[in-house]
Amino acid sequence: MQKVISGDLVQVTCASSLEDGTPVDTQSDRKNPIWIKAGEKRKLQSLGMAVIGMGVGEKKRVSVPPEQGFGGHDPELIFACEKAALPEDAAVGAFITMENEGQEMEAMIKGFEGDQAILDANHPYAGQTLVVDLKVLAIKK
């Protein structure tokens, strides 16, 4: 059986969840496989390393720490703004797009305190370990 080596392109399905089982992605239906480069050290480098040595049809569960997934939770990305600056129908839990120093960013409304809104621009899964179930579908040398 052909095994994945560093540098191979590998087609996989992956279903991601948090450690408590909460689903994270839309890949879990396995209808949209993705290609990753074995050994590649990108944001989800654990996956590129995890496929090395696997063969077509093999499955593996991989734990991805926050620094290789959605990053750590940064308290500096939690801030207040004037409630009046938000859309009229803004509610707790809603995401809004705003501009900060010339760049667009998305933030979740965490709550309201008087005339202030508390926003969190961290990724919703920041600081959490991901659990990814991989299945190798194809290998290109």
CATH code for the domain of 116:
2.40.10.330
Q: How far is 127 from 100, CA to CA, in rounded Å?
A: 22
* Pairing of the two strands 103-113 and 34-37: unpaired
pLDDT at residue number 50: 93
pTM for the structure as a whole: 0.76
Residue stretches of the chain with pLDDT short of 70 = 25-31, 42-45
pLDDT at residue number 130: 92
pLDDT at residue number 28: 47
Structural domain of residue 60, as residue ranges?
Answer: 9-71+125-140
As for how many domains the chain has, the answer is: 2
